[in-house]
């Protein structure tokens, strides 16, 4: 059965760790579904740009594409930048736009696994408060989603969970850490709710200096690769094309 190309659209960054992480995640996704063509494009800083990637696919004779925003919330990039770039695609391409990654139980699972990899165990939940540190946004919908994810993470058993933001919104990571300390939380962990390293994740790390634990970014986690394929299949089914299992 014909499979549309999966085009993963990342934000992009001047920090080379960003693109390296995106490529690692794409490689993992390819490995989970052999035969599926997975390509990468960037909104800024890195190549290929979205128009460049779409032009190349069209020149190669590709007809069907699922464009998947490598974004955790529906903020400005998902609502404006990506649709605008796709609107300029060659006419021969049939493009389905998949949903952003979050929210999803798979992201919560990846967050918790990163915390365990940083040294915590499930037995530590009742004595550990978590700062859910995101990049930040001016979009009220995105801020509300982060607050809801913090509530969902709290319901998995952590003694407290506070959202925090590296930019555009408050509180900052360090303020959320101090707030948990003032409430008497014995152990405080900072969980970056970001996909790849870069300027804002580094700001989160600096804000975590007074915390006991700092987990890694989500990165090329198996859960994220599974989620990319899940969003791809959702986009296919939504347009009446049967999904294909790995």
CATH architecture of the domain with range 5-102+221-238: 3-Layer(aba) Sandwich (3.40)
pLDDT at 56: 98
Task: Please compute the mean of the pLDDT values over residues 128-133 and round it to a whole number.
Answer: 98
- What are the pLDDT digits (tens) for 63-78? 999 999 999 999 988 9
> What's the CA gap between 1 and 15, in Å, rounded?
39
pLDDT at 238: 80
Task: Please compute the mean of the pLDDT values over residues 118-130 and round it to a whole number.
Answer: 98
CATH topology of domain 105-214: Rossmann fold (3.40.50)
User: What percent of the chain has a predicted confidence (pLDDT) above 70?
Assistant: 96
The average confidence (pLDDT) of the chain is: 95
Every domain of the chain with CATH number 3.40.50.1400 lies at: 5-102+221-238, 105-214
Query: Residue 115, SS3?
Result: helix
Residue pair 129/164 in contact (Cβ under 8 Å)? The answer is no
């Amino acid at each position: 059965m014909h499979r549309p190309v999966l085009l993963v659209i990342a934000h992009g960054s001047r920090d080379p760790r960003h693109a390296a992480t995106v490529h690692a995640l794409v490689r993992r996704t390819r490995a989970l579904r052999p035969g599926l063509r997975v390509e990468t494009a960037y909104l800024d800083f890195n190549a290929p740009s979205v128009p460049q990637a779409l032009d190349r696919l069209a020149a190669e004779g590709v007809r069907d594409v699922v464009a998947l925003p490598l974004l955790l919330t529906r903020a400005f990039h998902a609502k404006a930048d990506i649709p605008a770039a796709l609107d300029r695609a060659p006419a021969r391409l049939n493009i389905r736009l998949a949903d952003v990654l979050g929210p999803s139980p798979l992201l919560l699972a990846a967050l918790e696994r990163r915390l365990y990899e940083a040294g915590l165990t499930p037995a530590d939940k009742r004595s550990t408060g978590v700062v859910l540190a995101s990049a930040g946004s001016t979009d009220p919908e995105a801020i509300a989603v982060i607050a809801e994810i913090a509530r969902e993470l709290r319901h998995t058993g952590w003694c407290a969970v506070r959202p925090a933001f590296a930019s555009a919104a408050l509180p900052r990571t360090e303020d959320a850490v101090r707030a948990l300390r003032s409430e008497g939380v014995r152990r405080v962990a900072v969980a970056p709710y970001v996909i790849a390293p870069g300027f804002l994740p580094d700001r989160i790390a600096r804000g975590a200096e007074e915390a006991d634990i700092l987990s890694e970014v989500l990165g090329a986690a198996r859960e994220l690769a599974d989620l990319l394929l899940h969003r791809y299949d959702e986009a296919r089914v939504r347009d009446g094309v049967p999904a294909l299992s790995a």
